[in-house]
Every structure is written in C-alpha cells, then in structure tokens.
A and B are shown apart, each in its own frame.
Chain A
C-alpha cells in the first residue's frame, strides 16, 4: 500500500468507527426505557442524543464525500477494496446475519416475559443488527486504523 492508500484506509476506518459509535449513542439515549432510567437522572440525556445525532449526520456526509473521492481515484479504489477487504466484508455479512438471528431469538424470550416495550425492543434489535457487523469490520481492519 502506498502512502495515499494507507491514508485513505485509515480515514475509512475512523469514519466507520465514529459513524457506528455516534449512531449507537444516539439510538441508545433516545430509547424510552433508557430515558426513564433512575440512574441517568440528572444527565442531559436528550442533549447527549442530539449531540450524537449531530455527529452522526456530519460523519454521514463525510462518508459520502469520502466514497465519491475514492471512486474518482481508481487506483486507490482497487487497493482499498482488495481481496482481504472483500473477505472481511463477507465475514461481516455473515456475523451480522447470525447476530441478528440470535438477537431475534433473544427477543422471543424478552417478549414472552414482556420486559420491554415493543417499539424499544425493535429499535434495540436494529441497533444490534447494524452495529455488530460494522464494529466487527472495524476490528478486522484494525491494522489500517493505526
């Protein structure tokens, strides 16, 4: 990998990580049961959720800009999407799929005991299903993050 590709790979790693974490924080603090938690009383939960959302929006647009930049630079595009990255991506799809199925199975148990409100449960399922494969990708590509 040349210097420019390395820089782009590092950028992608940080963007993916920040994107996922900000999304997780935003979703977590906007969950109704979390907002009603007695332990979080005194914390500006709504402000934290709003802040995380703002970060997520910024990163979202930065990701789009990054992707269009990578597409323009064909050589870097090829190096960034090499065989190893493609294999890692495939592993992430697989991990995402099985995590989602196990989360759904856990949700059947949670639903049976009526522990959480239905909307919050669905939101939590989406949080798990989206963040686990992305964080797994970040972990697989940790060498490029530096």
Chain B
C-alpha cells in the first residue's frame, strides 16, 4: 500500500521544481550565442558534427523545459499537490504571457524584415528562447510567490 505524501516532501519537490525551471531557463538563455553560431554553420555549409549536436542539445533542452512547464514533470504524478488548481492557474498565466510576448516578438521581427533584410536562421532560435524562457521564469516566480504566500 502506498503512503500519503508527506507535506514536507511536497514542499521540497515544489521548491526544487521552481528552482530547476529557473536554472534551465537561464542555461537556455546562456546557450544562445553558441547556438546562433552553430545554426549559422549548419544552414550555411552543413556544419560540423559538433554544430549539429549543439543545435540538437538546444532543441532538447527547450523541449524539456517546455514539457516541464506544460505537464508539471514526472513528480507531479507522485505528488498530486504539484499539479493542483493553483499550479494549473499559474501555468495558464505563464502560457498567456508566453503567447503574448512571442507574438509581439514575431510581429517585431516581421516589421523589421520589411525594413531591413534579416537572416531567418538567426531570429528563429532567438524567438524560441524568448518564448520559452520568459514564461518559464514567470512560472517560477509565480510558484515561489505561492510558496511564500501558502
């Protein structure tokens, strides 16, 4: 028979998740320079294996972060409190912000492209990063606020 989760364990798991999301977001952001260079190499001349691995790692990390924010991670199955109403509301608010900022960035890129020729390969990874990092950080902040408030 499984035991009911200890509230201390849940709190610890919640704290760990919000910290992990924030750290992953910062790592994703810090990878930006290297990923831009690697994407350029891949699209211009096929690139070296290391460039492809770098781009692949970026996509993997972005997906991992997005899935963590979207589903709450594997631990939320063990601790239902990690996916309660407040978390779902926070997730919805983060998604809303993500949609708005990514859309605004996309419109900005579109307008800029009408004025100056922009390299399409450069801005897409930037938009992906922007669209994932901003809501992830916001989600993390909301979770921390919830912890302090609760």
Contacts and interface: CB of A to CB of B under 8 A. Distances in A.
B40 to A, nearest CB: 11
A104 B98 contact: no
Contacts of B99: 93, 96-97, 100, 129, 133
Contacts, number: 79
A104 to B, nearest CB: 5
A112 B125 CA distance: 12
A140 to B, nearest CB: 14
Nearest to B89: A90
Contacts of B42: 112
Given A97-B99, A98-B70, A126 B106 contact: yes
Interface residues on A, range: 20 to 34
Contacts of A98: 66, 70, 95
Interface stretch (A30-38, A62-70, A72-80, A113-121): A113-121
A31 B137 CA distance: 36
B110 A122 contact: yes
B25 interface: no
Contacts of B18: none
Contacts of B43: 111-112, 114
B131 A101 contact: yes
Contacts of A122: 106, 109-110, 113, 120
Contacts of B113: 118-119, 122
Interface of A: 90, 93-94, 96-98, 100-101, 104-105, 107-108, 111-112, 114, 118-119, 121-123, 125-126, 129-130, 133
Given A118-B119, A129-B103, 19 more contacts: A94-B91, A94-B96, A97-B102, A98-B66, A98-B70, A100-B106, A101-B131, A104-B131, A107-B124, A112-B42, A112-B43, A114-B43, A119-B113, A119-B114, A122-B113, A126-B106, A129-B99, A129-B106, A133-B99
Q: 5 closest A-B pairs (Cβ-Cβ)?
A: A118-B120, A97-B99, A93-B96, A94-B95, A97-B95
